[in-house]
Amino acid sequence: MAEVRYAEASRAYPGTPPVVAVDSLELTVADGEFLVLVGPSGSGKTTALRMLAGLEEVTSGHITIGGRDVTHVPPRDRDIAMVFQSYALYPHMTVAQNMGFALKLRGMPKETIAERVTEAARLLDLEKYLDRKPKALSGGQRQRVAMGRAIVREPSVFLMDEPLSNLDAKLRVETRANIAALQSRLGTTTVYVTHDQVEAMTMGHRVAVLKDAVLQQCDTPRTLYERPTNVFVAGFIGSPAMNLYTVPVDEHGARLGDLVVPVRRDAAAGLATVTVGVRPEALCLVGADEDGFKLAVELVEELGADAYVHGRARLADEEQRVVVRVDPRDPPAIGQTVRIGVRDHGEVHLFHPDSGERLHS
């Protein structure tokens, strides 16, 4: 168990100009914490994880594990265990040998290895498969073997690189819960990479959002959702995504068509436009006499508990797509024009139109 710290850690690939995959990452993962690195492809999340594993060179800055500087320490001396996206099992070894390999390399007595492997196999429901080779296992079983290989090590840190992306949807949801439960039981510091924001939100104690090699925000899922630090995080976290529009602002507020959203004077001081972000659930259908803007309904998604109305509205002289969550018992019909208002002005996010940074604290 250990704290992990990236101190201004960068990874640049030589070239003209050099390609920076991770740019001065400053991030601390507390002892026992489950931290998720999330971002679109090319954001540097996997590179950041591989830097921690020692599989990727750190070109500047430092990485420490449990206070020890491991920046230039080879992977085998970092006391970490990693689960790969492809599982990377040893094809020529049985499940038991796969799980015990690291312990064998450390010269552990056979009985201890067998004991630990059996224990992990029991935990992961793999006891029946210990003598099988990986090729005789299903995808879900292979994934569990990869987990088992990490667990038997009893490392200071677990590293997981999109371990669920090769599973089918149902198994993924199941395994997601299992991994989170396992981690909280073992209490091992975990860094988990995914591109799936639902995975990030449901599993992480904290979530670090990366984009273009730069850390955007690192916070609890709830804070990320409620107080995104910039337009990118606002749009990336949440499904369906937040509605984001750049609209004119004056002393009354920001103008979403006919709807005026009050804006604190100091927040938008000196700006002619402002980027407004409203989550689908912060919008609602309103009556003709209430404040709102007109929306032409194009699609209604009924998900059972919720229904989402997709439509087009004229905002700031442009056709914009809008998504609104509505009561699934009474959704509007396709082709209908409805009036949309804001449920609570407190749930409207304001961002700088150029920098995309969050306005008002």
Ranges within 99-118 binding another protein (CB under 8 A): 101-102, 105-106
Which residue lies nearer to another protein by CB, 73 or 286? Answer: 73
What is the number of alpha carbons within 13 Å of residue 232 lying toward its C-beta?
A: 16
Which residue lies nearer to another protein by CB, 163 or 221? Answer: 163
Check if the beta carbon of residue 191 is closer than 8 Å to that of residue 35: yes
Which residue lies nearer to another protein by CB, 11 or 358? Answer: 11
Which value, to the nearest 10 degrees, does the dihedral of the CA atoms of residues 315, 319, 321, 324 take? 40
Burial state string for 188-209 with b = 16 or more CB within 10 A and e = fewer than 16: bbbbbbbbbbebbbebbbbbbb
Q: Give me the residues paired with residue 143 across strands.
A: none
For the window 15-54, what string marks contact with another protein as x by the rule CB under 8 A?
Answer: --------------------------------------xx
Exposed/middle/buried for 341, CB within 10 Å: 0-12, 13-18, 19+? Answer: middle
Q: How many residues bind another protein (CB under 8 A)?
A: 26
The window from 21-29, 76-84, 183-191, 219-227 that contacts another protein (CB under 8 A) reads 76-84
Contact flag: residue 240 with another protein (CB under 8 A): no
In sequence order, what are the residues at sequence separation of 6 or more whose Cβ sits closer than 8 angstroms to the Cβ of residue 101?
90, 93, 149
Which residue lies nearer to another protein by CB, 105 or 272? Answer: 105
Which residue lies nearer to another protein by CB, 49 or 237? Answer: 49
SS3 233: helix
Check if the beta carbon of residue 232 is closer than 8 Å to that of residue 356: yes
Kindly report whether the peptide bond that precedes residue 17 is cis, defined as omega within 30 degrees of 0.
yes
Contact flag: residue 90 with another protein (CB under 8 A): yes
- Name residue, tokens 């999330």: 38
Kindly report whether the peptide bond that precedes residue 332 is cis, defined as omega within 30 degrees of 0.
no
Contact flag: residue 336 with another protein (CB under 8 A): no
The window from 39-47, 90-98, 204-212, 242-250 that contacts another protein (CB under 8 A) reads 90-98
The window from 27-35, 69-77, 195-203, 286-294 that contacts another protein (CB under 8 A) reads 69-77
Which one among 7, 12, 30, 55 touches another protein, defined by CB under 8 A? 55
Which one among 28, 71, 85, 165 touches another protein, defined by CB under 8 A? 85
Q: How many CB atoms lie within 10 A of CB 91?
A: 9
CA angle 26/32/33 to nearest 5° reads 50
In sequence order, what are the residues at sequence separation of 6 or more whose Cβ sits closer than 8 angstroms to the Cβ of residue 179?
147, 160, 163, 164, 192, 203
The window from 85-93, 119-127, 277-285, 302-310 that contacts another protein (CB under 8 A) reads 85-93
Which residue lies nearer to another protein by CB, 89 or 350? Answer: 89
For the window 146-165, what string marks contact with another protein as x by the rule CB under 8 A?
Answer: ---x---x-----x------
Which residue lies nearer to another protein by CB, 88 or 296? Answer: 88
The window from 72-80, 206-214, 270-278, 332-340 that contacts another protein (CB under 8 A) reads 72-80
- Report the interface residues with another protein, using CB under 8 A: 53-55, 74-76, 78, 80-82, 84-86, 88-92, 101-102, 105-106, 135, 149, 153, 159
